[in-house]
């Protein structure tokens, strides 16, 4: 059911890339193959109140037949966005915006070669944002928090520089479909993606001469 839900979220994008029959055939074949481990880092750049915001993500999943990648990511906003909020006496003071979320994801690779890989991706964000400040004793305190659910489709391109390391880029959009009251920010935004991919299987194969089920 989880796989079906993720595929359903990705399906509108897939229609732009390939005929439905081709996709269904790849899906049936791929999930009957033995998967390999898929590990990558990505940076997603977006905008909040006209501020450039960087969110770094670490993803671990399974790669089925170099066509479908399914897994889980952890994401953290690294660049704080400051905001002035009033205290109990109505005096404004500065707080930082923080945003952290988990992201089950799926990617569909519609073209690959020795060095290039073109894919459609979607991830569902489950997490929260908060305003925090540092008190006079140097301790961080949270004053407001919101639960946030997001949907992030993207088109991605990966390039293998050498057999151990690759880079990637892409464009997408972060759509917030639920945010509980509290944090007064608009998180929906266009995104562009930069990522670094480490081919662990190739590294192990080079050092030991043995094949591992790692992409």
The second-level CATH assignment, the architecture, of 2-208 is Beta Barrel (2.40)
Q: What is the mean pLDDT of the chain?
A: 82
Does the pLDDT value for residue 87 go beyond 80?
A: no
Whole-prediction pTM: 0.80
Domain positions in the chain:
2-208
Region of residue 209 (phi > 0: left; psi between -120 and 50: alpha; otherwise: beta): left
Report the SS3 class of residue 145.
strand
pLDDT at 136: 75
CA angle (38, 66, 158) in 5-degree steps: 75
pLDDT confidence tier of residue 41, bands split at 50, 70 and 90: confident
CA quadruple 28, 30, 32, 37: dihedral sign:
negative
């Amino acid at each position: 059911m989880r796989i079906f839900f993720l595929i359903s979220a990705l399906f509108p994008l897939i229609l732009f890339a390939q005929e439905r029959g081709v996709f269904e055939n790849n899906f049936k074949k791929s999930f009957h193959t033995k998967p390999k481990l898929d590990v990558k880092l990505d940076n997603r750049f977006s905008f909040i109140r006209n501020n450039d915001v960087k969110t770094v993500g670490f993803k671990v999943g399974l790669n089925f037949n170099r066509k479908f990648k399914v897994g889980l990511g952890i994401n953290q906003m690294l660049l704080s966005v400051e905001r002035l909020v009033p205290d109990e006496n109505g005096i404004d003071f500065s707080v930082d915006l923080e945003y952290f979320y988990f992201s089950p994801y799926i990617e569909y690779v519609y073209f690959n070669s020795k060095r290039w890989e073109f894919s459609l991706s979607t991830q569902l964000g489950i997490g929260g944002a908060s305003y925090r400040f540092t008190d006079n004793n140097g301790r961080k305190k949270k004053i407001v928090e919101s639960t946030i659910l997001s949907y992030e489709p993207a088109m991605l391109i990966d390039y293998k520089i050498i057999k151990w390391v690759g880079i990637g880029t892409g464009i997408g959009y972060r759509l917030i479909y639920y945010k509980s009251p509290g944090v007064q920010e608009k998180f929906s935004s266009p995104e562009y993606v930069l990522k670094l991919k480490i081919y662990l299987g190739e590294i192990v194969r080079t050092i030991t001469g043995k094949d591992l089920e790692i992409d």
